[in-house]
Amino acid sequence: MTKSSVQPANIPGGVPRESLPRHIAIIMDGNGRWAQRRGLPRIEGHRHGVASVRRTTEEAARLGIDQLTLYCLSSENWKRPQAELDFLMHLLEQYLIEERSTLLEENIRLEIIGSREGIPDAVLAAMDKTVEMTSHNSGMTLCLAINYGSRAEITNSVRQIAEQVRSGQLAPAEITEELLAANLYTAGMPDPDLLIRTAGELRVSNFLLWQISYSELWITEQCWPEFAEADLHEAIRDFAQRDRRFGGLNT
C-alpha cells in the first residue's frame, strides 16, 4: 500500500480528502498536570500519554494523513527531576520496541529528529533499530521530536552553511531559504499544515519555529492523556474551514 493508494474512510464531518492537512504536528502537553489533578505521580501522566500517542497515530494513519510529528522531549526538558527523566527514557525505549509490530502492520515509517546528545545508548539503539525496520514502509510518516529544540536546529543549519562558505563551496549570495531548510533536521519533510497544542497553553515552546511559519494553530484545554480521536477530528474539521492565503488573497 502506498500513500497514493490510501482510501481514508469516515473522514470526520465529511471533510473532503483534498481539505485534509497533509502534515499534523502536535505539542503533547499536560501529562504531569493530568496526573496531579488525580492525585497520581507525574510519571503516571506520561504512562497514560503513551496510549494517546498510540490512538492518535493509528487514527491519523487511518484518515490518510501523510505525516504526524509529535513533540516528545524538548532540549529544555533536561531541567526536570532526574527520576522523571529516567522514567521518560525507559518509557521511550519501551514504546520504540513494543510499537514495531504495529508500525509494520500499519505501513507507518518512523523518523526521529533532534539531538542524540545525552540520550542513553539503549534508547538510541532502540530508535535506530525501529527507524531501520520501518524505513521501507510507504504509508504515513510518524516523526518523533526527541531532545529537540528549534533554535538549536536553526543554529546548526546556519553553522553547516557557514562551513560551506568558508571552504569555498558556496557563495553568500547562493544562500536561500531552500538551502537553509535543506540543512534542518526536517529536510525533505513537508511543513506542518496544522499545529495542535494540548493543555490550553498559548505558545509554541521552541518547536519547529522555521517550519510552522504558515501552520494553522489549534489549541485544546484537554491534557494530552485525554486527547482522543474525537479531538483530532475536531481539529481537522476546524482546519478544513479555514481560509489559507499564505500572505496573498483568494479570488
Average pLDDT over every residue of 4-12: 52
Q: Is 85 exposed, middle or buried (0-12, 13-18, 19+ CB in 10 A)?
A: middle
Mean pLDDT of the chain: 93
Assign 207 a pLDDT band (cuts: 50, 70, 90): very high
Q: Is 77 a catalytic residue?
A: yes
Q: Which of 77, 156, 183, 206 is catalytic?
A: 77
What pLDDT was estimated at residue 243? 85
What pLDDT was estimated at residue 176? 97
The answer to whether the predicted template modeling score (pTM) of the entire model surpasses 0.85 is: yes
Distance CA 59, CA 86 (A): 29
For the record, the C-alpha cell of 106 comes out as 500499519
| Range in 15-19, 97-101, 135-139 the model is least confident about | 15-19
Count helices and strands in the chain by DSSP H and E runs? 8, 6
What pLDDT was estimated at residue 175? 97
Average pLDDT over every residue of 136-156: 98
What pLDDT was estimated at residue 13? 73
Distance CA 63, CA 84 (A): 34
What pLDDT was estimated at residue 90? 96
Please name each of the domains of the chain with its CATH number: 19-152+191-240 (3.40.1180.10)
What pLDDT was estimated at residue 36? 95
Model pLDDT for residues 53-110, shown as the tens digit of each residue:
999 999 999 999 999 999 999 999 999 999 999 999 999 999 999 999 999 999 999 9
Average pLDDT over every residue of 229-237: 96
What pLDDT was estimated at residue 11? 73
How many beta carbons lie within 10 A of that of residue 213, not counting itself? Answer: 12
CA triple 190-15-54, angle to 5 deg: 60
Beta-carbon contacts of 211 under 8 Å, excluding residues fewer than 6 positions away, are 25, 184, 186, 189, 191, 192
State what percent of residues in the chain have pLDDT above 90. Answer: 89
Distance CA 231, CA 198 (A): 10
Q: Which of 29, 66, 193, 231 is catalytic?
A: 29
What pLDDT was estimated at residue 244? 79
Q: Is 10 a catalytic residue?
A: no
For the record, the C-alpha cell of 116 comes out as 542524540
DSSP secondary structure string for all residues of 127-161: HHHHHHHTTT--S-EEEEEEEE-HHHHHHHHHHHH
